[in-house]
Amino acid sequence: MVVFIVILILSLVALVFSADYFVSGAVSIAKQMGVSSLVIGLTIVGLGTSAPEILVSGISSLQGNSGLAVGNALGSNIANIGMVLGVTAIIAPIAMPSGIMRREIPILMGISVLCYLLAFDGLGQIDAVFMLVGLVVFLGWLIRSSRGNAQADDFSDEFDSEMTTKKAWVAFSLGLLGLLFSSKLLVWAAVNIAQYYGVSDLVIGLSIVAVGTSLPELASSIMSVIKTEGDLAIGNVIGSNIYNLLAVYSLPGLFAPNVLDQSVLYRDFPVMLFLTGILFVFGYKFFKKTGCISRLEGFALISFYVGYQWFILQ
């Protein structure tokens, strides 16, 4: 069992580093092909930072472990708000610009509620196709509404480098191979650990795997507030959660249609919706034009997340 735990930890580390190489290589290639920074920032970088969740969900679904895939998607969203924003806010309060409150958070809430309603009759292929179409529509809207906004350019520049074409392709290829290999190892180790301890692959997905695949978002958010760009931290989490629902949660329905575990419907989805709703409360508190997540609220978020993890692992 120790071997499986070590492999799980090593595969999580490899997953994070592979995603970084993959995104850096992809960004460099796209820039050399003349793709605009706006498109790169909103598509390649956005989807690339969700690559760990996408690969883990896809591989586990293909192997028949749909519980792990669903747990990874929902668990990552819960971890992004409870753990990532909680830890980040403790380091420095996170500003919540009015634009995010008017557009992105309502969109995230709408998508979350829709996915929840679709889940009651099971997660099928029609549901999956509907969500993937929604992803394409969302990306199109994002690009169109962000034209002239330098924020997307700044985000993509974080991954910019002086890579030659050859180095970019090497980084991209090694990153992709690393993602595939480490994702497969992670799923294998997680399933064996779940079987050994008698817990479901859903719980493993909601806990260990979700925390591991949320590490890129945690690192990115912490760096954002250190650079006094807290709006990037909240934007990063909201964008990641939308990708997780439309691109990650849809994969079990596409590859392994199934009726969801009742605990997903009456425990995990409601927790995710509750935390998403909390973002509204923090953003509109005291009816100020610009809300924020204070250190005290960050502590409350992380405390709630720790309590949730304790509850599902009992």
Return the CATH number at 249: 1.20.1420.30
pLDDT tens column, 12-22: 788 778 877 77
Number of Cβ atoms within 10 Å of the Cβ of 3: 9
Whether residue 293 is contained in a domain is answered as: yes
Query: Any residues with CB less than 8 A from the CB of 142 and at least 6 apart, and which?
Result: 42
Tokens encoding 151: 């924020």
Residue 273 carries which DSSP code?
A: H
Average pLDDT along the chain: 80
Whether residue 21 is contained in a domain is answered as: no
Whether residue 140 is contained in a domain is answered as: yes
* Between 257 and 233, the higher pLDDT residue: 257
Whether residue 244 is contained in a domain is answered as: yes
Report yes or no: 251 and 66 within 8 Å, Cβ to Cβ: no
Query: Rounded to 5 degrees, what are φ and ψ at 51?
Result: -55, -40
Whether residue 57 is contained in a domain is answered as: yes
Whether residue 169 is contained in a domain is answered as: no
Q: How confident is the model at residue 286 (pLDDT cuts 50, 70, 90)?
A: very low
> How many separate domains does the chain show?
1
Whether residue 66 is contained in a domain is answered as: yes
Q: How confident is the model at residue 101 (pLDDT cuts 50, 70, 90)?
A: low
Report yes or no: 152 and 42 within 8 Å, Cβ to Cβ: yes
Q: How high is the pLDDT of residue 273?
A: 96
pLDDT tens column, 124-183: 899 999 999 999 898 888 777 665 555 555 555 555 556 777 888 888 788 878 877 787
Report yes or no: 132 and 247 within 8 Å, Cβ to Cβ: yes
Q: Is the pLDDT of residue 236 over 50?
A: yes
| % of the chain surpassing 70 pLDDT | 83
Query: Any residues with CB less than 8 A from the CB of 306 and at least 6 apart, and which?
Result: none
Average pLDDT value for residue range 55-65? 82
Average pLDDT value for residue range 75-90? 93
Tokens encoding 75: 């668990």
Whether residue 184 is contained in a domain is answered as: no
Report yes or no: 307 and 121 within 8 Å, Cβ to Cβ: no
Q: How high is the pLDDT of residue 154?
A: 52
Q: How confident is the model at residue 287 (pLDDT cuts 50, 70, 90)?
A: very low
What is the pTM for the complete model shown? 0.83
Burial 86-118 (b: 16+ CB within 10 A, else e): bbbbbebbbbbbeebbeebbeebeebbeebbeb
CA-to-CA distance for 284 and 260, rounded, in angstroms? Answer: 34
Alpha helices by DSSP H, listed for the chain, are 2-32, 37-39, 45-49, 51-62, 66-79, 86-91, 98-102, 104-119, 125-145, 150-157, 165-197, 201-204, 210-213, 215-226, 230-243, 250-255, 262-263, 269-284, 295-312
Tokens encoding 273: 């919706």
Q: How high is the pLDDT of residue 231?
A: 65
* Between 140 and 224, the higher pLDDT residue: 140
Burial of residue 216 (CB within 10 Å: 0-12, 13-18, 19+) is buried
- 115: containing domain: 38-159+198-312
Q: How high is the pLDDT of residue 37?
A: 53
Q: How confident is the model at residue 86 (pLDDT cuts 50, 70, 90)?
A: very high
Q: Out of 38-52, 123-137, 176-190, pick the least confident.
A: 38-52
* Between 301 and 166, the higher pLDDT residue: 301
Average pLDDT value for residue range 254-281? 90
Q: Is the pLDDT of residue 34 over 50?
A: yes
Average pLDDT value for residue range 37-65? 72
| % of the chain surpassing 90 pLDDT | 24
Q: How high is the pLDDT of residue 279?
A: 84
Q: Out of 79-93, 129-143, 283-297, pick the least confident.
A: 283-297
CA-to-CA distance for 85 and 96, rounded, in angstroms? Answer: 12
